[in-house]
A and B are shown apart, each in its own frame.
Chain A
């Protein structure tokens, strides 16, 4: 009887929850950004620019988490924080833990935004949040906050 319970539990835990560990924020420079923007052969990259103090950004983070978990074999979610690099351990990391963020989190430590904004997309005016979806043969830029449905529809255009 004990064994049955144990096995049932094992199966449940295997099937149900998001098992990815809580993200660890990693600081990157412009080169790191360039690498993050390179298309992957296997997966669709969903890249979101955000910051802990940006309310509309924080509002849409759960949608990216959900996409990352439910499309984990097809989609790689990268959350690029534009928080001040000196707050990485005092604010960004605690935020990730409190909000159970499990997608990859990079912190772009380069204040000269005018130099890298055009690298991300020539149409970007610098407002956040903003989202970029990249596959090996397609790129789409969303200069706005997204609802879950908009995000899922956008991903489905790539699948």
Chain B
């Protein structure tokens, strides 16, 4: 009698399991055979997605905007303040991003090497401190002092400047050269190609571009990509 009862329960259980999994199967099958989007719709979706992936910003040869941003030393910095500069190494960077941190010493070295020949570094933190608390103006002051930054470290308060340049990540470099009074974009991209170790770099993109500008030769590689932290 007991065996019969167990058998019945097992049978019901088995039925229930197959019923439930059947339900799942049915649902999945519905999805599998869901109507494919009509071609015109596919096209529309594709272009919408492309819009997302292309961010407007400067191209090589564009005139870069000047700005007036708060510096960690308490002053306000603009490009027009640098009367004797031949150009600028604008680097969007920040405190929180490990890639930015990895490049701090290299940014200082570039500033020290190229400031005297007319190309000072200007670092701009493009992040909203509400998104990244360690990127607050107070935290920037602390970091600038700790590392002994030799260049202005500015906050893009209100985030008006980085979208004009088309910066998307930190670090992101825009090398400018003055033509008359206008700062013209000459190189966009990375500092070099290995963030972990300055000694194992294969391509020093930014320095190559700076050297070309200094010697009046065309820049061989005007753009480069590297991993960075998305600006937010």
Instruction: From the candidates B24, B45, B226, name the one contacting A113 in the complex (CB within 8 A).
Output: B226
Interface check B1, CB cutoff 8 A:
no
- Residues of A close to B17: CB separation below 8 A: 10-11, 14
Interface string of A1-41 (1 = CB under 8 A from B): 00110010011001100000000000000000000000000
List residues of B whose CB falls within 8 A of some A CB. 6, 9-10, 12-13, 16-17, 20-21, 24, 28, 31-32, 34, 37, 42, 45-46, 49-50, 52-55, 96, 98, 131-132, 168-169, 190, 193-197, 200, 202-203, 224-232
Contact of A157 with B193 at beta-carbon distance under 8 Å, contacts A53-B98, A125-B169, A128-B229 already known: no
Interface check A136, CB cutoff 8 A:
no
Q: Is there contact, CB below 8 Å, between B53 and A142?
A: yes
Q: Is there contact, CB below 8 Å, between B230 and A128?
A: yes
Instruction: From the candidates A14, A74, A114, name the one contacting B226 in the complex (CB within 8 A).
Output: A114
Q: Is there contact, CB below 8 Å, between B49 and A7?
A: no
Q: Compute how far the CA of A62 lies from the CA of B45 in the bound complex, rounded to whole angstroms.
A: 25
Shortest beta-carbon distance, B201 to chain A, in Å? 9
- Residues of B close to A156: CB separation below 8 A: 34
Instruction: From the candidates A84, A113, A142, A144, name the one contacting B225 in the complex (CB within 8 A).
Output: A113
Do most interface residues of chain B lie in helix, strand or loop, or is the interface mixed?
Answer: mixed
Smallest Cβ-Cβ distance to A3: which chain B residue: B9
Smallest Cβ-Cβ distance to B205: which chain A residue: A114
Q: Which of A143-158 contact B (CB under 8 A)?
A: 143-145, 154, 156-157
Q: Is there contact, CB below 8 Å, between A142 and B49?
A: yes
Smallest Cβ-Cβ distance to A86: which chain B residue: B196
How many residues on the A side are at the interface (Cβ–Cβ under 8 A)?
Answer: 42
- Residues of B close to A55: CB separation below 8 A: 96, 131-132, 232
Interface string of A64-86 (1 = CB under 8 A from B): 00000001011000000010100
Q: Is there contact, CB below 8 Å, between A126 and B225?
A: yes
- Residues of B close to A51: CB separation below 8 A: 98
- Residues of B close to A154: CB separation below 8 A: 49
Q: Is there contact, CB below 8 Å, between B53 and A113?
A: no
Instruction: From the candidates B190, B225, B227, B229, name the one contacting A118 in the complex (CB within 8 A).
Output: B225
- Residues of B close to A129: CB separation below 8 A: 230
Instruction: From the candidates A10, A73, A113, name the one contacting B28 in the complex (CB within 8 A).
Output: A73
Contact of A145 with B37 at beta-carbon distance under 8 Å, contacts A3-B6, A10-B13, A117-B225 already known: no
Q: Which 5 interchain pairs have the tightest Cβ spacing?
A: A127-B169, A7-B13, A143-B53, A127-B230, A113-B227
Q: Is there contact, CB below 8 Å, between B230 and A56?
A: yes
